[in-house]
Amino acid sequence: MTATETNYHIDQNGAYSTVTLLPAMNNAQWSDIEQAGTDIMGRLNGTKSPQVMVDLTPLNYMGSSMVAMIVRCWKNVQSNDGRIVVICNNDVVREVISLAGLTKVWPMVETREDALKELGVSSSDSNSLLAYIGVAGAVVGLIGAVLLLTGGVSPNVARGGLFAGSGVGFVLGLVTMLKMADPLKTWGLGVVIISAMTCVFGLMQQKGPALPAVPPPAAAESAESEDQSAEDAPAETPESEE
């Protein structure tokens, strides 16, 4: 861990990133604070339209150099079509930000839950849950495909499980792939592919060759009776000519 990393933490959780500034940064040299800002921007630049929470709750004071660093990060995020929300529950820190005139440009909240609502994103636990449900749906679809092949249950039940499971897997996999970061994005891609292939298999099974029509039992018995009567009837002999 470098010296600058002891002054802050950065966590990237799929749809959003959290930058937490630590009290040690108040005692850091200007060069270290500037380097921390450069490192943070480098991490955030790898995300398209970054959604960033800047957590200042560990601080009970904040100097002008730290404010300048946050401004640099904010401008960088804006240039990438992203957003920043500042989390602050300390009156002194809030006053410093207010004196700099930044409370008018930064949304400020007191908790991470409120910050997530402000950004309009879900927590990492919710993101993971969606990914797991998508995987479960794909598995249900595969089980339905196996049962359809083996005839373990009624074909209608097997098809229902196949299409329902693969449908859920495809939708949630697509959401995971488009809105979340690795490794969840990779999971989403795999779920989408598996679910799509399972659906195609189910559709192909529905278009299989039709079975020959079987006459109803009553009609079959009637036909057999007629055949039997024909066999039992005495053959007609030609009348002899007188």
Q: Give the DSSP H or E segment for 170.
A: helix 155-179
Token pair of 11 as six digits:
């966590």
- For residue 196 the two structure tokens come to 């799509």
Q: Are residues 111 and 128 in the same domain?
A: no
User: How many domains does the chain contain in total?
Assistant: 2
Look up residue 68 and give its two tokens. Answer: 């300048």
- Residue 240 banded pLDDT, cuts 50, 70, 90: very low
Same-domain check for residues 136 and 40:
no
Alpha-carbon span 118 to 84, nearest angstrom: 9
Closest CA to 133 of 122, 141, 121: 141
pLDDT attached to residue 194: 94
Mean pLDDT of 99-113: 89
| Domain around 128 | 124-206
231 within a domain of the structure (yes/no): no
Backbone torsions φ then ψ of 100, nearest 5 degrees = -80, -5
Q: Does 56 share its domain with 138?
A: no
**Tens of pLDDT along 50-100?**
889 999 999 999 999 999 999 999 999 999 888 999 999 999 999 999 998
Query: Are 114 and 131 contained in the same domain?
Result: no
Say what the pTM is: 0.53
What is the CA 66 to chain-centroid distance, rounded?
A: 36
What integer pLDDT is reported at residue 217 of this predicted model?
54
Phi/psi of residue 128, each to 5°?
A: -65, -40
Same domain for 44 and 136, yes or no, is no
| H helices, E strands: number in the chain | 8, 5
pLDDT digits (tens, 9 = 90+) for 140-158: 999 999 988 888 788 889 8
Instruction: Assess whether 74 and 28 both reside in one domain.
Output: yes
Pairing verdict, β 8-13 and 16-21:
antiparallel
Identify the residue with better confidence: 184 or 182: 184
Q: Are residues 102 and 156 both part of a single domain? A: no
**Is 92 found in the same domain as 27?**
yes
Which amino acid type is present at position 168? V
Q: Which residue, 84, 95, 24, is CA-closest to 55?
A: 84
Strand, helix or coil for residue 54: strand
Query: What CATH number is attached to the domain comprising 31?
Result: 3.30.750.24
Same structural domain, 27 and 111:
yes
